[in-house]
Structure 1
Amino acid sequence: MVGDEQIAALVRHYAGRPAALGGSSAATALSPQQSDLWRAARPLVSTPVFLATVVFRLRGPVHRTALAAAVRRLSLRHDLLRTVFENGPAPAAHLGEPPELRVVEAPDAAADTAEELVRGIARTPFRFGEEPLFRVTLVCRAEDDYLLVLTCHQLVIDGYGQSLLLQEFTSLYRAEIRGEPDDLPEIKQPYRETARLLRNPDPEVRRGDEEFWTSRLRDLPVMSLPGDRPGPEGATLAPTGAVETVLPDPDGAVVAGLRRLRVNLFALFAAGTMAMLHGYTGQTDLWVATVVDNRLTPESQAHVGPLAGPRVVRVGFAADATFGVLARAVQREVWATMERQHIPFHDVITAATGDGADMRNLGSVGITVTPSIQLPDWPLGDMEPLEFDPLEGEPSTGSPLALLVEEQAGRYRLRLEFDESRFSHGRAHDMMTTIADAVVAATADPQRSLASWRGPTSADD
């Protein structure tokens, strides 16, 4: 268990630690998420694990000069998009030249050939110390058929930032085509200043955060989720397998259920996950890990850079609670954590268990819910998002069990990443299916109790 003094010490320790950005002449703070990501990404710079890629098919003419100018203007507007991160022992970086639009000619390429080409582009790692971590590639298949590939490293963008980048990129492209000034609002506070204020709140705010997390993480429970494989000796934090399924929602039943419950998509799937965990373990004090955007102010909403930070969402409930009660309890806790400074998830677990403890059966599930991308009004033709998995089924998270949900048109794509030394693919698929069933049950009948729901067939299957 985590004691009050340990929790308080962790919060104090991580609340104000600066990291250098900009070289010796200007030491400034990275956001908490950016510093954590740098430490995690450094040993994986030659892999695609931390790359964020979206791919679009463009039908119609493309003004290449205007597109190239939009890439340049976007990176001048957001200096993180032209920042070169060093691959050294400490997080340091400097501003580089704006990246240029990359053009690949692939006339009459077959669909599978074009897909393989795009996959290679998306999986190509950035050269730390040599180039910015932002890349835009135009694959030209015909005069009116293109593929647009936007790739960023997670050090310079988060989920919120990805949507903002697409909207602003489109606005700049349209302005270049028309030869007019863009209508984007001025960024009044630099990203680094926003990050500094996020990391170093005033003492009163810091004390409030410390008290908040101390109460939330007091006697943090160990989850007794049973595996169906013995697992090797020692601890692991990385999943090695993944299973996927699709939850169809052509008639919008899930969206209608969200309105009835008055919760958001994350709270719904987190409640479904807790229902699954309760079914396997019988526990009624559960917690999940996630990240929040930290975009509560106009200043923070102007940036594409990572401001999201990890959170622990802990909920206690009665064994006969209804799905509606559980989902709303999760939602309340999510809102309560949003304004609070984070403490690192893995450090909390380490403090709770001690060095060398078996961490595979601790904690809970990491949950990431990605809303559907709002497409901009693309000029000179049509823009169509393409389903694309640059990791080719490789696990992408650091949690021993992680649920990733992607909202798509008329459905939700669920992916459960898991530790194969603890769980078989069959068990993982059963857990994922149980989560989907719980989501359906919650939206169809919020008054239904967990006790009356079938849940997992058996914890020993």
Structure 2
Amino acid sequence: MSELSQRIAGLSPEKLKLLTQKLNQKKGNLLSKTQIKPQSRESNTFPLSFAQQRLWFLDQLEPGNPAFNICQFMQLTGLLNVVALEKSFQEVVKRHEILRTTFTIIDGQPFQVINPTAVFQLKLLNLQKLSLDEREVEVLRLANEEAQQPFNLAKDCLVRVTLLQLSQTEHALFLSMHHIVSDGWSIGILIQEITTLYKAFSQGYPSPLPELPIQYADFAVWQRQWLQGEEMMTQLEYWKQQLGNRLTVLKMPSDRPRPTVQSYNGDSQFFVLEKAITEKLKTLYQREGITLFMTILAAFKILLHWYTKQEDIVVGTDIANRNQLETKGLIGFFVNQLVLRTNLSDNPSFKDLLKQVRQTTLDAYVHQDLPFDKLVEVLNPKRNLSQTPLFQVKLVLENTQNHTFDFLGLKITPINLIKQAVQFDLLLELTEFEQGLFGLWEYNTDMYETTTITQISANFQLLLKAVATQPEASLNELKKIIDEADKQQRLSQKQACNSAIQRSLKNIKNIKRQVNDIS
């Protein structure tokens, strides 16, 4: 998950200085003026954060929904110290109270309960007796099974780790956490700490990690106290003005009607945007004094406008929401969702659209501290069990500095699975690599066919290429590019369909001729 400073890394020094001044003026330099203090541990029961509260309610509606499982699967090659590995995970669970937390109801309200004596155990499975082919099949089967395995928020330890022994020098590691106790940033923290602890414990040293200044429960208490005063009113006033009661639902055309109750059935598709286009986009956003995220967001809005014919386009995104120094090293559910609204009327050029998107995004960053769940509560949009509130399509640009396990020279190979449970109608997640931009589309399979997502992906890549080379082009000119590509694609599909029909008819004639010959 990208922190604010990472999101705006592409700004020029002059623009960055102006942004910093703006943030300090509007937020009063939050990092220096707020301090989260440890709460008394006379009781082990604490309120939920706003983000946790919404996820808890969703779990009550559909208990154990695997859409909220966060998973990391990998293969380890080399000599593994299993005792040191288990001890490392035990130490992390001991350090972070949130990993020893369950959720209960007291007087009709949800609370988090910290178990002071929870014991973590690494689950071990031995697959050495299987053949190489059988092992590969079984690893994938177990990984998919683990990804879909539900968590019971009231009873379960909300972090699971399974180690499969494939041979003396081959293991597979499955790590699963429920989103209510974790987020993308948290995974990075966990990986860093496990790596540090494993190195120490393997060599007989004690834990070198310093004591944590606070725990997640302290943050939850602080958040509720802090958002009762003037700061919440300032933040809320901006979002009420930006979104208000006029928010329109994005009406993306789908292959099937939206289910009456939101389903989480999903699939995913990958693509890689070639490096040459990525470099041209980089040149563009640096020249315009914006970021890669803003550039992609503007193009994404054009794509959605082309499909929906709507001018008022609303998209969600994620922000790390760790603006307090005390939260930087904590595992927990901190990530916040921002609602980014853009008006595409009057046929703007792409460069003009970039200016609007830039301003909207910066303003959203300034007001990023209001929990999305509190915003939904206050705006109180018309409830619809068939879709997520405020937005149904999401765009995320991941941090390029991915954390990786480093177990004293062991080779680590990720095990990639197709996601089968999704939270939104459509989500595009992008990561920047040396080879270019790596994209992942997650989509609801009750609404979209695979071929539809393939075409959406192709149109978006074409659009990115167009804006990278023709930033002065107007919205209508860019839409014509997609029109022509879509027309050619449909023509190609029609020709392929006609060819298939002709082949089928020919086969039928041949079969009839053979039947007549036999007769």
Normalising to structure 2: TM-score of the pair? Answer: 0.72
Q: Does 1:253 align with 2:279?
A: yes
Equivalent residue number for residue 406 of structure 2: 378
Q: Does 1:271 align with 2:291?
A: no
One of 313, 337, 340 as aligned partner of 2:340: 313
Tell me, yes or no, if the aligned pair for 2:248 and 2:312 is still in contact at 8 Å. Answer: no
- Partner deviation per Cα, 1:24-47 (whole Å, 9 max, x = no partner): 945423221111111112344444
Cα distance, 1:53 vs structure 2: 0.7
Tell me, yes or no, if the aligned pair for 1:51 and 1:153 is still in contact at 8 Å. Answer: yes
Normalising to structure 1: TM-score of the pair? Answer: 0.80
One of 438, 441, 451 as aligned partner of 1:415: 441
Equivalent residue number for residue 325 of structure 2: 298
Aligned partner letter, 1:436: Q
For residues 134 and 359 of structure 1, the distance between their equivalents in structure 2, rounded to whole angstroms, comes to 28
Cα distance, 1:259 vs structure 2: 4.5
For residues 136 and 357 of structure 1, the distance between their equivalents in structure 2, rounded to whole angstroms, comes to 33
- Partner deviation per Cα, 1:92-138 (whole Å, 9 max, x = no partner): 33315131222221225432232223333333323443331011222
Q: Does 1:222 align with 2:241?
A: no
Q: Does 1:288 align with 2:315?
A: yes
Equivalent residue number for residue 49 of structure 1: 67
One of 71, 76, 82 as aligned partner of 1:64: 82
CA gap of 1:226–1:118, structure 2 versus 1, over 3 A, is closer
One of 71, 90, 94 as aligned partner of 2:114: 94
Higher deviation after alignment, 26-35 or 68-77? 26-35
Match runs of 1:138-177 below 5 Å: 138-177=163-202
Cα distance, 1:313 vs structure 2: 1.1
Equivalent residue number for residue 396 of structure 1: 422
CA gap of 1:284–1:432, structure 2 versus 1, over 3 A, is same
Cα distance, 1:395 vs structure 2: 3.9
Equivalent residue number for residue 190 of structure 1: 215
Aligned partner letter, 1:71: F
Tell me, yes or no, if the aligned pair for 1:290 and 1:368 is still in contact at 8 Å. Answer: yes
Tell me, yes or no, if the aligned pair for 1:268 and 1:439 is still in contact at 8 Å. Answer: no
Aligned-partner SS, 1:38: helix
Cα distance, 1:455 vs structure 2: 5.1
- Partner deviation per Cα, 1:295-338 (whole Å, 9 max, x = no partner): 12211212110011222111234544343443454344334323
Aligned-partner SS, 2:71: strand
CA gap of 1:315–1:305, structure 2 versus 1, over 3 A, is same
For residues 406 and 386 of structure 2, the distance between their equivalents in structure 1, rounded to whole angstroms, comes to 51
Aligned partner letter, 1:206: M
Number of residue-to-residue matches in the alignment: 434
Q: Does 1:209 align with 2:235?
A: yes
For residues 149 and 386 of structure 2, the distance between their equivalents in structure 1, rounded to whole angstroms, comes to 35
Tell me, yes or no, if the aligned pair for 2:266 and 2:422 is still in contact at 8 Å. Answer: no
Equivalent residue number for residue 18 of structure 1: none
Cα distance, 1:70 vs structure 2: 0.5
Aligned-partner SS, 1:129: coil
Aligned partner letter, 1:69: K
Cα distance, 1:82 vs structure 2: 1.8
Tell me, yes or no, if the aligned pair for 1:46 and 1:125 is still in contact at 8 Å. Answer: yes
Cα distance, 1:181 vs structure 2: 4.3
CA gap of 1:197–1:164, structure 2 versus 1, over 3 A, is same
Higher deviation after alignment, 284-293 or 405-414? 405-414
Equivalent residue number for residue 441 of structure 1: 466
Aligned partner letter, 2:393: V
Aligned partner letter, 1:403: L
Tell me, yes or no, if the aligned pair for 2:263 and 2:386 is still in contact at 8 Å. Answer: no
Higher deviation after alignment, 172-181 or 437-446? 437-446
- Partner deviation per Cα, 1:126-182 (whole Å, 9 max, x = no partner): 344333101122211122222122111111101111111111111111121233344
For residues 129 and 182 of structure 1, the distance between their equivalents in structure 2, rounded to whole angstroms, comes to 30
Tell me, yes or no, if the aligned pair for 1:62 and 1:144 is still in contact at 8 Å. Answer: yes
CA gap of 1:335–1:163, structure 2 versus 1, over 3 A, is farther
Cα distance, 1:74 vs structure 2: 0.5
Name the larger-Rg structure: 2
Identity in percent: 20
Cα distance, 1:407 vs structure 2: 2.4
Equivalent residue number for residue 146 of structure 2: 121
For residues 360 and 229 of structure 1, the distance between their equivalents in structure 2, rounded to whole angstroms, comes to 19
Higher deviation after alignment, 246-255 or 278-287? 246-255
Aligned-partner SS, 1:302: coil
Equivalent residue number for residue 502 of structure 2: none
For residues 176 and 46 of structure 1, the distance between their equivalents in structure 2, rounded to whole angstroms, comes to 35
Pick the structure with more helix per residue: 2
Match runs of 1:361-372 below 5 Å: 365-371=393-399
Cα distance, 1:205 vs structure 2: 0.4
Tell me, yes or no, if the aligned pair for 1:23 and 1:94 is still in contact at 8 Å. Answer: no
Tell me, yes or no, if the aligned pair for 1:32 and 1:309 is still in contact at 8 Å. Answer: no
Tell me, yes or no, if the aligned pair for 1:416 and 1:432 is still in contact at 8 Å. Answer: no
Tell me, yes or no, if the aligned pair for 1:262 and 1:328 is still in contact at 8 Å. Answer: no
One of 106, 110, 127 as aligned partner of 1:106: 127
Tell me, yes or no, if the aligned pair for 2:77 and 2:169 is still in contact at 8 Å. Answer: yes
Which ranges of structure 1 fall in alignment gaps of 5 or more residues? 1-20
Cα distance, 1:239 vs structure 2: 5.8
For residues 457 and 87 of structure 1, the distance between their equivalents in structure 2, rounded to whole angstroms, comes to 54
Equivalent residue number for residue 14 of structure 1: none
Tell me, yes or no, if the aligned pair for 1:272 and 1:436 is still in contact at 8 Å. Answer: no
Tell me, yes or no, if the aligned pair for 1:285 and 1:317 is still in contact at 8 Å. Answer: yes
Tell me, yes or no, if the aligned pair for 2:51 and 2:371 is still in contact at 8 Å. Answer: no
Cα distance, 1:54 vs structure 2: 0.6
Cα distance, 1:66 vs structure 2: 1.1
Tell me, yes or no, if the aligned pair for 1:82 and 1:97 is still in contact at 8 Å. Answer: yes
Equivalent residue number for residue 342 of structure 1: 371
For residues 286 and 313 of structure 1, the distance between their equivalents in structure 2, rounded to whole angstroms, comes to 8
CA gap of 1:308–1:230, structure 2 versus 1, over 3 A, is closer
Cα distance, 1:364 vs structure 2: 5.1
Aligned partner letter, 2:483: T
Equivalent residue number for residue 457 of structure 2: 432
Aligned partner letter, 1:285: D
Aligned-partner SS, 1:200: helix
Equivalent residue number for residue 29 of structure 1: 47
Equivalent residue number for residue 35 of structure 2: none
